[in-house]
Chain A
Amino acid sequence: GNSVTQMEGPVTLSEEAFLTINCTYTATGYPSLFWYVQYPGEGLQLLLKATKADDKGSNKGFEATYRKETTSFHLEKGSVQVSDSAVYFCASINSGGSNYKLTFGKGTLLTVNP
């Protein structure tokens, strides 16, 4: 089955620092890939997604590129803010969603200090 591995946290940065959270996947075929964010006491919010190789997902200054050759989907942001403090999850789903199941990484806690 699919699996997703993301860097363990916690990650602590100062405001305006550069962020990278690594994510790699294993899957049969070419899955769709997602980054979700979870704020304290809340559910998951979709941050960005990519559905095929070389696609770049972007939202709110965050970016991730689907790299088939390295089976990776690393999350980046050029200048983080205190409000970005949250847990970030990388996830995959089989192409076409044929098993109707998201597979998640274990999550990375990001804390941004002023």
Chain B
Amino acid sequence: KAGVTQTPRYLIKTRGQQVTLSCSPISGHRSVSWYQQTPGQGLQFLFEYFSETQRNKGNFPGRFSGRQFSNSRSEMNVSTLELGDSALYLCASSFEGGGYTFGSGTRLTVV
């Protein structure tokens, strides 16, 4: 059974640009969550989607957005990138009520 797949693995962007990250969950998992990991702030929750609906959102500015498609794949978008957005972005999928399986992450560097 394939795990959670995140693409791309690495990304370098310039301040002011926007970026889209992709996450394909484990087959059959309808919940997808996103987390930002930085050395200073640790792991912080961004948002969670289930059946194309956002059920919870963390305390991030509106520049951070996401969506989920009918096949459960999810994307997150960050607009007007800032240096402080440099982080490892992790996606996790879950079967409703079960545990969370994480992908390997996308390492975003903003220069």
Query: What is the interface of chain A, defined by CB distance below 8 A to chain B?
Result: 34, 36, 42-46, 49, 89, 96-97, 99-107
Contacts and interface: CB of A to CB of B under 8 A. Distances in A.
B97 A96 contact: yes
Interface of B: 4, 6, 31, 33, 35, 42-43, 45, 48, 50, 55-56, 58, 90, 92, 94, 97, 99-105
Contact of B56 (A45, A49, A99, A107): A99
B43 A100 contact: no
Nearest to B49: A100
Given A100-B31, A102-B100, A44 B90 contact: yes
Given A99-B56, A101-B56, A102-B92, 6 more contacts: A43-B4, A43-B105, A46-B99, A100-B48, A102-B100, A104-B42
B104 A42 contact: yes
The DSSP consensus for interface residues of chain B is strand
A107 B33 contact: no
A2 B1 CA distance: 32
Contact of A101 (B33, B50, B99, B104): B33
A101 B31 CA distance: 11
A43 B103 contact: yes
Nearest to B105: A43
Contact of A100 (B42, B50, B103): B50
A43 B33 contact: no
Contacts of A43: 4, 6, 90, 102-105
B101 to A, nearest CB: 7
Contact of B45 (A36, A42, A44, A102): A102
Contacts of B55: 100
B86 to A, nearest CB: 16
Contacts of B90: 43-44
